[in-house]
């Protein structure tokens, strides 16, 4: 049923006929093609982003991700959850089930349910196939590089963008506001089904919005790739209020394992600060990626 949301969304957005044709064509993307697209981009991400390989970190993020994805995935995808060693606050999902969460976001979460909410939101982008939709619209873009810009600050400023040949409009891999709203709805349902309190979702939004006020610029990447306004807090809280209070009270808010995991990240050496463009990309023509993302 969800496989063809593009047709409806294309109609609703009244996009030009040519784009509608692309979106309708995207409906034909099979699950295998979706997984192949995610796998090839994940290989680029592994080559270009600093990923945390520490076994305890990998085990925790994988277990929490499995708890969430098993509660909602009806397509039996092979999910992969990874912590990116970046102090920037962000998270991202690739088609087919690859989810990345930056260390900077995890370190700002005060309890397990806040991280779980972000991960459930990213899982929602995959299960609703927003990620395939987005990458179909980004045809021709080097998504590995776009994600490098999205998840780190390597491309910050005109010089960085020029160095790796990414046009300004393709700097961030963006989801639309309607995609964000849909992923939030999924995230609330998924966390509840997984036995985790959905209050972590609006709680994490509050942390990020408060930091945007006190430390403008620090969260630019997150806000550019995931439009976040105060109304997302209201909408998620209204959805949560539809559940019986007795059910919500039974759900887990935190765990000793999360706090151990977070302390382990906080004790690690500072995240690397990528300053140079990836090898071999300096000659990339600037037109290759320009303007293809929303």
Contacts with Zn ion, residue ranges (CB under 5 A): 175, 180, 183, 226
Give residue 165's region: left, alpha or beta (phi > 0; psi -120 to 50).
left
Cβ contacts of residue 236 below 8 Å, gap of 6+?
A: 184, 187, 188, 198, 201, 202, 205
Per the residue annotation, which of 48, 85, 88, 122 is the catalytic one?
A: 122
What are the beta bridge partners of residue 213? none
Per the residue annotation, which of 133, 182, 184, 186 is the catalytic one?
A: 184
CB of 180 to Zn ion, least distance (A): 5
114 is catalytic: no
CB of 148 to Zn ion, least distance (A): 18
Measuring CA to CA, which residue among 240, 254, 210 is closest to residue 113?
Answer: 254
Signed CA dihedral, 85, 88, 90, 93: sign only: negative
Q: What is the DSSP string of 167-212?
A: -GGGSS----HHHHHHHHHHHHHHHHHTTB-TTHHHHHHHHHHHHH
**What distance in Å separates the CA atoms of residue 238 and residue 161, rounded to the nearest whole number?**
40
179 is catalytic: no
> By the 8 A CB rule, do 201 and 121 touch?
yes
Which residue number has the CB closest to Zn ion? 226
**What distance in Å separates the CA atoms of residue 97 and residue 129, rounded to the nearest whole number?**
10
Of the pair 48, 180, the CB lying nearest Zn ion is at: 180
**Which backbone phi and psi does 101 adopt, to 5 degrees?**
-125, 130
> By the 8 A CB rule, do 165 and 284 touch?
yes
Task: Give catalytic residue positions.
Answer: 122, 184
């Amino acid at each position: 049923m969800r496989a063809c949301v593009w047709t409806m969304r294309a109609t609703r957005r009244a996009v030009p006929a040519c784009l509608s044709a692309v979106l309708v064509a995207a409906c034909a993307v099979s699950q295998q093609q979706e997984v192949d697209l995610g796998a090839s981009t994940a290989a680029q991400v592994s080559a270009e982003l600093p990923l945390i390989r520490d076994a305890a970190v990998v085990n925790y993020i994988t277990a929490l991700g499995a708890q969430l994805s098993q509660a909602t995935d009806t397509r039996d995808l092979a999910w992969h959850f990874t912590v990116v060693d970046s102090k920037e606050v962000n998270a991202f999902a690739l088609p087919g089930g690859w989810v990345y969460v930056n260390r900077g976001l995890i370190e700002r979460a005060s309890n397990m349910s806040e991280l779980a909410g972000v991960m459930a939101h990213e899982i929602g982008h995959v299960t609703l196939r927003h990620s395939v939709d987005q990458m179909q619209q980004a045809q021709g873009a080097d998504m590995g590089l776009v994600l490098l810009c999205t998840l780190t600050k390597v491309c910050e400023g005109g010089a960085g963008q020029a160095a790796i040949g990414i046009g300004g409009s393709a700097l961030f891999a963006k989801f639309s506001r309607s995609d964000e709203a849909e992923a939030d709805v999924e995230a609330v349902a998924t966390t509840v089904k997984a036995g985790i309190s959905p209050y972590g979702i609006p709680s994490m939004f509050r942390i990020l919005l408060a930091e945007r006020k006190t430390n403008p610029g620090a969260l630019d990447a997150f806000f550019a790739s995931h439009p976040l306004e105060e109304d997302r807090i209201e909408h998620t809280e209204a959805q949560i209020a539809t559940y019986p209070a007795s059910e919500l009270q039974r759900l887990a808010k935190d765990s000793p394992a999360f706090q151990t995991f977070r302390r382990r990240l906080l004790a690690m050496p500072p995240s690397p600060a990528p300053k140079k463009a990836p090898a071999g990309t300096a000659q990339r023509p600037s037109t290759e990626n320009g303007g293809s993302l929303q």
